[in-house]
Structure 1
Amino acid sequence: MKTKAVRLYGKKDLRVEEFELPAISDDEILAKVVTDSLCMSSYKAANQASDHKRIPDDIAGNPIMIGHEFAGEIVEVGANWQSKFTAGQKFSIQPAIYYEDGPVGVLSAPGYSYKYIGGDATYVIIPKDVLVQDCLLAYEGPGYYPASLAEPLSCVIGAMHANYHTTAGSYVHKMEIVDGGKMAILAGVGPMGLAAINYVLRREDKKPSLMVVTDIDQTRLDRAAELYTVEFAKERGIELKYINTAEMADPVTGLKELTGGKGYDDVFVFAPVAPVVEQGDAILGFDGCLNFFAGPSNTEFTAKMNFYNVHYAYTHIVGTSGGNTDDMKEALEIMTAGLDPAGLVTHIGGLNAVPEATLNLPNIPGGKKLIYTHYDFPLTAIAEFEEKGKENPVYGELDKLCKKYMGLWNVEAEAYLLENGDKL
């Protein structure tokens, strides 16, 4: 079986290549990748190459496939796994595996460490490392792109589960957000913030009574309010408020007033900006938990924290990075039940667009860049479909289908692209 894949040979050295995959063993699975979502982690990996903790030292001679937020369809199952998986099943991958016998020890991961598995490829071999840890996950929902976005959604799910609270006189930490409590999502209308809003509104347990979402960009706030409405939140038993803190004379006082002056039980910070972190700390209520979700690239990043409140008001802080396999399973289940993560997606592209897009990811505005690996077309913003449709009817039809869903990518658009797009 031939595959086309984006392989990493060294720092900023990404190449689209076609080569032969070996026959699978009894402990492996051959799979077709349909879509991969580009991640900043891949940008970091491509820039650091073998200096990255998950990437082997010998990639100059044994390049690895990149991409770890992918989904597709099983093609062939090795003998030892035929009781669990079958050809034709749709799948997603939990890439954060920890396997002692992997190519780089306990830090091995698809998209970083393997010659024959990564999301930016047409066909891959899923190794025993992934299978024995139950990290190949079946997906039964509509389309493919939701399963590709299960990994980023799992990061949000993991953050909610990682928050904790205490009971006076006890040292036991009660994990999770406060059910019926007050929640704030700061700098919360970027792609991952939108995912958090969507998840909170859709989950069946552990809901806040008040969810305040802030930003300083009114256009983005208005778009978030259009996608995830105050009215829908009310139906779900949540009072939802979108707040532009740039328009507040005193954001801390103003945000606390929304809680009756008591402060917030759960605060999530979605930007690695010191004033935003400090604002989050300042609006915590008694036993409030601040989750620093946004990972900084600056290793010296710091922000002030009120340690008087740590001591006397029992405030605390956690940081989360990624979700575990249970979070991935929950993401797939909630998407199968109706949650659509399309609010994350702003660009669509083909396999040939991956090297340039990956290496320039921080400079490309918007949210997730979704790659359809069997197709050849440039990375294109959904907002550009209408203009491009004047010359290419495929873009014109995609524009119509996205406008049908409030400008969002959707299963209908995906199906049309898979049928009519330019194949490699």
Structure 2
Amino acid sequence: MKCYVLEGEWSPKEGYCLNEREKRDHRAARGNLVWKNLRAGIVTREDPQIRDDEVLIRVGACGVCGSDMHAAEMDDEGYTKFSGHLRLPVIMGHEFAGEVVEVGKDVKDYRVGDLIAAEQIRWCGKCPSCRIGKFNNCYELEEIGLSADGAFSEYAVVPEKYCCNINGIAELLGNKQAAMEAGALSEPTGVAYNGMMINGKGVTPGSHVAVFGSGPIGLAAIALARAAGAAKVFAFDTVNEKLELAKKVGADFTYNPVELAKQGSSAADAVMEDTAGIGCKMIVEAAGNPDRTYPDIVQLMSIGANVVQLGMRGGLSQIDLTPFLIKGCAFTGSLGTAGNAIIPSVLRMMEQGNIDMRKIITGRYHLDLTAEAIEDAKSGVHGKILVSQNY
């Protein structure tokens, strides 16, 4: 089969202390401190073989994520720019859906011909973190497309426990390919769902919500806030093309902070004026730029607000916590999506037509052009770019 593989050299930086799992499995918890001299491209491998509890899918759509862009980029020393979990070589791509073409003998809930979306984080279900429902913090966590083979490929193997049926979405849309595109978008949508609905305790119907950053996860947060009954949904981004996408998925007000500053205004000023001084009960930071966003966030928080941090930045940040104390606000960090019926819940919302994340698709590339798809995504103007052998 054809697949897009990232390779590199194992070269831990001086002073970086490998933990026992890193040593045992030749993996890096912090990829940018271990892997260097990267190379990536389309290669041909043998078709994968499944185990008794696994299904083989023909990949129908796989999204390009920020981690895909950073993992294959190198800094001045030749190390990957991706600071997360990485084990090489690996087939990249983790936001995917496809059609089942083979099932293991112990698989009970899926048959050949079913359409499925897959969870990206593989959790063990046995460690202390999993046993208290913190699946994202699993001690034995694997991440498809980063530490385990992913889906920029013709075929992918998925254990049954991480499969989610999307036949109902195909029935709603009347099109298999459209359903697989929707299924591929369940992963970034699930990241927003996990932060807002699980860790963040949900959107209060009738309250106002602000989302900073209108990339795929920010756009998903906007769609979820609208579906959850938010009164007014605000979107902020410095790229006007992304603000147009924000309108498509449910934002009532869209603002470019750079343009506001030129007018002598700010994001906080706009929100407080549009909400008659109430502010927002939930604020989602999906920009990964807290030094720029938090001066506004702490001003537009309502009493008892919850700030959900989804964006990741590489360095340290300074945040003034005093407004959180004065207003009785909470800060919630959230990373990734696993367990807790997150992906099935997102897919049920799609199946019922509550959200349609296909509206954020701005590019489609054939599998052979995966490198070009990743490069195009770096332009910063896209919503979501998909890769498929079907294009």
Relative to structure 1, the CA distance from residue 303 to residue 53 in structure 2 (aligned partners, 3 Å threshold; closer, same or farther) is closer
1:25 to 30, 51, 59: 51
Matched, 1:366 2:382: yes
What is the letter of the counterpart of residue 333 of structure 2? G
What is the letter of the counterpart of residue 55 of structure 1? L
Residue equivalent to 2:3: 5
Give the number of the structure whose alpha-carbon radius of gyration is greater. 1
Structure 1 spans left out of the alignment, 5+ residues: 165-174, 231-239, 375-417
1:330 CA displacement? 1.3
Matched, 1:341 2:357: yes
1:304, 1:25 → 2: CA distance? 48
What is the letter of the counterpart of residue 365 of structure 2? G
1:329 CA displacement? 0.9
1:33 CA displacement? 0.8
Residue equivalent to 1:242: 254
1:350, 1:361 → 2: CA distance? 14
Relative to structure 1, the CA distance from residue 357 to residue 243 in structure 2 (aligned partners, 3 Å threshold; closer, same or farther) is closer
Residue equivalent to 2:225: 200
Within 5 Å, give how 1:303-318 maps onto structure 2.
Answer: 303-307=318-322, 309-318=323-332
Within 5 Å, give how 1:159-308 maps onto structure 2.
Answer: 159-162=195-198, 164=200, 175-187=201-213, 189-203=214-228, 207-216=229-238, 220-222=242-244, 224-225=246-247, 227-228=248-249, 240-245=252-257, 246-247=259-260, 249-251=264-266, 252-273=268-289, 274-296=291-313, 298-300=314-316, 302-307=317-322
Matched, 1:328 2:347: no
1:38 CA displacement? 1.0
2:81, 2:315 → 1: CA distance? 19
1:249 CA displacement? 3.0
1:242 CA displacement? 3.3
TM-score of the superposed pair, with normalisation by structure 1? 0.70
1:160 CA displacement? 1.5
Structure 2 spans left out of the alignment, 5+ residues: 9-36, 74-78, 127-137, 171-177
Relative to structure 1, the CA distance from residue 347 to residue 314 in structure 2 (aligned partners, 3 Å threshold; closer, same or farther) is same
Contact 2:193 2:346 survives alignment (8 Å): yes
What is the letter of the counterpart of residue 362 of structure 1? K
Post-superposition Cα deviations, 1:234-261, rounded to whole Å, max 9, x if no partner, equal: xxxxxx3334553453323342132222
Post-superposition Cα deviations, 1:189-244, rounded to whole Å, max 9, x if no partner, equal: 444333222222234xxx2223233345556545543x2468xxxxxxxxx33345
2:141, 2:351 → 1: CA distance? 30
Matched, 1:109 2:143: yes
Matched, 1:148 2:184: yes
Post-superposition Cα deviations, 1:369-390, rounded to whole Å, max 9, x if no partner, equal: 1101x2xxxxxxxxxxxxxxxx
2:351, 2:196 → 1: CA distance? 20
Contact 1:191 1:343 survives alignment (8 Å): no
What root-mean-square deviation, in Å, do the aligned CA atoms of Structure 1 and Structure 2 show? 2.9
Matched, 1:44 2:80: no
1:359 CA displacement? 5.9
Post-superposition Cα deviations, 1:102-131, rounded to whole Å, max 9, x if no partner, equal: xx97132221233xx4111101232xxx33
Relative to structure 1, the CA distance from residue 12 to residue 147 in structure 2 (aligned partners, 3 Å threshold; closer, same or farther) is same
Residue equivalent to 1:383: none
What is the letter of the counterpart of residue 267 of structure 1? I
Secondary structure class of the residue paired with 2:222: helix
1:13, 1:340 → 2: CA distance? 36
Instruction: Number of aligned residue pairs: give it.
Output: 332
